[in-house]
Amino acid sequence: MRSPKLLRHAWTVASKDLLVEFRSRTAILSVAVFVVLVFVVFQFGHDPTAVSNVDLAPSILWVTFTFAAILAMNRAFQLELENQALDGLLLAPIERSSIYLGKLIANLVLVAGVELIGVPLLALFFNVRVLPYLGPLLALIALATIGFVAVGTLFSAMTTRTRFADLLLPVLLLPFMIPPLSWAVLATGRLLAGRPLSEIVGWLNMLAVYDIVFVTLAVFLFPATVNE
Amino acid sequence: MLLAEALRHSFGAVRALDDVSFGLQPGQTLAVFGPNGAGKTTLLKVLAGLIRPQRGRAQVDGGRRAIGWIGHQPQLYGQLTVRENLRFWASLYDVPESEFLLRKDSLLVRLGLQDHEHRRVSELSRGLVQRAAIARALIHDPRVLLLDEPFTGLDRMAAEELRELLSEDAAEGRASVLVTHNVDEGAELATHIAFMRAGRFAHFAPRAGRGPQQVSEDYRNAIA
């Protein structure tokens, strides 16, 4: 009986966050502009005769997604500080984990939106072929994103009531982001270079394990992070 | 219905609650007066379960589901309409759709918000926002209301309407704890009066027919 309620409350929180974001467009617009800006700057700034586009594209793709995700995650709990809505959420007779899961779902939808813009732009600006590897590439992006957004959403809850939330989140998040990001960059490089899928299966497995471990940990740790 | 037993809580060296005890029955209203920093909001947060006291216990029959909170911050989302906000909070309290519609319509009429149902909260005046916050707090029909400086920012007429609403609710059996630093604002609503200083109840007694002026004088004597 607990799980359906947990998921229903999580969805209630997530759909509210997405509706607020849809109305204000605060995070998605700034993040989308940031993504386009990074691609433009790198496109004009690098010498393709020194480093090939296929070699450069994975790093740029993941740097862009990472910063875009941090911008979006910073906003997740700041929204709840407006009019002290966080106290209302904590007072509601719901599992506190459902607040975390709701925020995680909303953050994933936002970051996925940015990634759906980013992948075609990458193909356009860097002239790399993504269509032949689209399925595995999307699976890779999804697995890597779930991992670092799960950790980032937890840290966002921890830092949001501090004076330096914008600074603390990336600092705390960095050590936890390095493993999934490095695996994602390496696997993306192999994919875009047209190497066989068997070469990235190991990284996909590690990303899946990372996701399971950190989503589970975050669900259990979240209630402690919001207690006064 | 509501019981506080020997509550103690400190923030570092500052003792916010020091041996606070009281009980309330249905229909009773406790008004807690005290200067800033006396521990009033901490008391409410402990009663609501937002802070776990270091000693003592607070118990509300029905748990968190039975509590409604009205503070000086409305706990509403500016980008959502009044209706969307009410629906969101009702969903978290598992209010069935049919009950939600009935309660929402009744509250909006009662609070004079029926013409503002589809307006975003960010577009409303301070007084209307506070009314919407009251609707939010009552949408799940709580048996206990916790009120933290609820008159802050309200004009005289809106404050009078809030007092009327709280009186009606008390008559229907809802218990309330109201904290404020302004003695003139809550005395008439109360069945019980407490004066709080440095985390302690310096005075706790039934109002027993005392008017705001008498309560004000008692407050000055107790706190001075």
pLDDT one-digit tens code per residue, B106-161: 999 988 899 999 999 999 988 899 889 999 999 999 999 999 988 877 778 878 88
Give the SS3 label for residue A46: coil
Question: What distance in Å separates residue B97's CA from the closest CA in chain A?
Answer: 14
Beta bridge partners of B194: B32, B204
What is residue B221's predicted lDDT score, i.e. its pLDDT? 87
Residue with tokens 């409604």: B68
Give the SS3 label for residue B199: coil
pLDDT band at A50 (very low <50, low <70, confident <90, very high): confident
Question: What distance in Å separates residue A113's CA from the closest CA in chain B?
Answer: 21
Structural tokens at position B71: 């503070």
Residue A185's contacts (CB-CB under 8 Å, 6 or more residues apart) are A58, A59, A62
pLDDT one-digit tens code per residue, B41-69: 999 999 999 999 999 999 999 989 999 99
Would the CB atoms of A20 and B77 count as touching at under 8 Å? yes
**How far is residue B101's CA from residue B104's CA, in Å, rounded to a whole number?**
5
Which among A144, A151, A148 has a CA at the least distance from the CA of A217?
A151
Query: What residues in chain A have their Cβ under 8 A from chain B's Cβ atoms?
Result: 5, 8-9, 12, 16, 19-20, 23-24, 79, 82-85, 87-94, 227-228
The interface pTM score, or ipTM, of the predicted complex is 0.89
Would the CB atoms of B80 and A90 count as touching at under 8 Å? no
pLDDT one-digit tens code per residue, A89-145: 999 999 999 999 999 999 999 999 999 989 999 898 888 888 988 999 999 999 999
SS (H, E, C) B17-67: EEEEEEEECCCCEEEEECCCCCCHHHHHHHHHCCCCCCEEEEEECCHHHHE
Would the CB atoms of A84 and B75 count as touching at under 8 Å? yes
The sign one gets for the Cα dihedral A203, A209, A212, A213 is negative
Helix (H) or strand (E) holding B170: helix B156-171
Structural tokens at position B55: 């000693």
SS (H, E, C) A101-151: HHHHHHHHHHHHHHHHHHHHHHHHHHCCCCHHHHHHHHHHHHHHHHHHHHH
Helix (H) or strand (E) holding A83: none
Provide the angle, in degrees to the nearest 10, between the axes of the packed helices B82-92 and B126-138.
30
**Half-sphere exposure at residue B44, Cβ-oriented, CA atoms within 13 angstroms:** 27
Asked if B112 and B69 count as a contact pair (C-beta separation under 8 A), the reply is: no
Does B75 lie at the interface with A, CB-CB under 8 angstroms? yes
Asked if B42 and B63 count as a contact pair (C-beta separation under 8 A), the reply is: no
pLDDT band at A83 (very low <50, low <70, confident <90, very high): confident
What is residue A218's predicted lDDT score, i.e. its pLDDT? 95
pLDDT one-digit tens code per residue, A165-180: 778 888 888 899 999 9
Q: Is the pLDDT of residue B34 over 60?
A: yes
**Half-sphere exposure at residue B75, Cβ-oriented, CA atoms within 13 angstroms:** 25
Question: What distance in Å separates residue A5's CA from the closest CA in chain B?
Answer: 9
pLDDT band at A23 (very low <50, low <70, confident <90, very high): very high
Q: Which of A61-65, A205-209, B200-204 has the highest mean pLDDT?
A: A205-209
pLDDT band at A30 (very low <50, low <70, confident <90, very high): confident
Asked if B46 and B58 count as a contact pair (C-beta separation under 8 A), the reply is: yes
Does B84 lie at the interface with A, CB-CB under 8 angstroms? yes
What's the CA dihedral at B220, B35, B48, A11 to 10 degrees? 140
